[in-house]
Amino acid sequence: MTHTAAIPRDVPSHDELVDQKIVGAFFVAALTYLTISMLAGILMALQLVHWNPLRGVELFSPGRWRMVHTNAIAYGFLANAFLGALNWAVPRLTFHPVASKALNWFIFVAWQVIVLSTAIALVVGPSLQDQAWVMNLAREWKLPMSLGAQGLEWGETPFWIDPLALLGLALVAVNFMVPIAKSKGPMYVTLWYFMAAFVWTFLTYAMGNLLPEYTVGGTSAGAIGGLFIHDLVGLFVTPLGWGLMYYFVPILLKKPIWSHGLSLVGFWGLAFFYPLQGIHHFLYTPIPMFLQYGAVISTIAVELVVATVVINFFGTLAGRGSMFFTNLPIRYFYTGMVFYFITCFQCALQVTLTFQKLIHFTDWVVGHAHLVMFGVFSLWLFGIMIELFPRLLNRPWYSHKLLIYHYWFSSAGLFVMFGDLTLAGIFQGYYWASLQPWDVSTDGSQPFWITRVFAGLVMFAGMLCFIYDLWMTWRGVTPADWVEVTPIPKVSGN
Using CA atoms, how far apart are residues 238 and 230, in angstroms rounded to an integer? 11
Q: Which of 186, 483, 490, 492 binds other proteins (CB under 8 A)?
A: 186
Q: Which of 10, 15, 130, 140 binds other proteins (CB under 8 A)?
A: 130
Q: Does the footprint of other proteins cover residue 288 (CB under 8 A)?
A: yes
Q: Does the footprint of other proteins cover residue 222 (CB under 8 A)?
A: yes
- 435: alpha, beta or left, given left = phi > 0 and alpha = psi -120 to 50? left
Minimum CB separation of residue 321 from other proteins in Å reads 29
**Within positions 37 to 96, which residues make up the interface with other proteins, using CB under 8 A?**
47-50, 52, 55-56, 58, 61-64, 66-67
**Within positions 417 to 476, which residues make up the interface with other proteins, using CB under 8 A?**
429, 432-435, 438-439, 442-443, 449
Q: Closest by alpha carbon to 355, among 280, 417, 444?
A: 280
Q: Which of 110, 216, 301, 472 binds other proteins (CB under 8 A)?
A: 216
Q: Which of 11, 99, 166, 291 binds other proteins (CB under 8 A)?
A: 291
Taking only Cα atoms into account, the Rg of the chain, rounded to an integer number of angstroms, comes to 23
**Within positions 328 to 387, which residues make up the interface with other proteins, using CB under 8 A?**
356-358, 360-362, 365-366
Residues in the chain: 494
In the bound state with other proteins, the residue whose beta carbon lies nearer, of 227 and 403, is 227
In the bound state with other proteins, the residue whose beta carbon lies nearer, of 211 and 458, is 211
Rounded to 10°, the helix 79-94/238-253 angle is 50
Minimum CB separation of residue 52 from other proteins in Å reads 7
In the bound state with other proteins, the residue whose beta carbon lies nearer, of 67 and 309, is 67
Using CA atoms, how far apart are residues 145 and 280, in angstroms rounded to an integer? 26
Q: Which range in 9-17, 196-204, 372-380, 451-459 contacts other proteins by CB under 8 A? A: 196-204
Query: What are the φ/ψ torsions at residue 130 (nearest 5 degrees)?
Result: -90, 5
Residue 266: Cβ within 10 Å count: 25
Q: Give the CA-trace dihedral at 216, 222, 228, 231, to 10 degrees.
A: -130
Q: Does the footprint of other proteins cover residue 149 (CB under 8 A)?
A: yes
Q: Closest by alpha carbon to 480, among 408, 370, 410, 401?
A: 401
Q: Does the footprint of other proteins cover residue 161 (CB under 8 A)?
A: no
Q: Which of 93, 169, 223, 414 binds other proteins (CB under 8 A)?
A: 223
Using CA atoms, how far apart are residues 63 and 75, in angstroms rounded to an integer? 18
Using CA atoms, how far apart are residues 91 and 18, in angstroms rounded to an integer? 6
In the bound state with other proteins, the residue whose beta carbon lies nearer, of 16 and 58, is 58
Total residues contacting other proteins by CB under 8 A comes to: 98
Q: Which range in 111-119, 271-279, 340-348, 401-409 contacts other proteins by CB under 8 A? A: 271-279
Q: Which of 1, 112, 117, 153 binds other proteins (CB under 8 A)?
A: 153
Residues sharing a CB contact under 8 Å with residue 267, sequence separation 6 or more, in sequence order = 189, 192, 193, 196
Binding mask 87-126 for other proteins (x = CB under 8 A): --------------------------------------xx
Using CA atoms, how far apart are residues 264 and 309, in angstroms rounded to an integer? 9
Q: Does the footprint of other proteins cover residue 326 (CB under 8 A)?
A: no
Contact 183, 94 (CB under 8 A): yes
Query: What are the φ/ψ torsions at residue 310 (nearest 5 degrees)?
Result: -65, -40
Q: Which of 282, 333, 334, 466 binds other proteins (CB under 8 A)?
A: 282
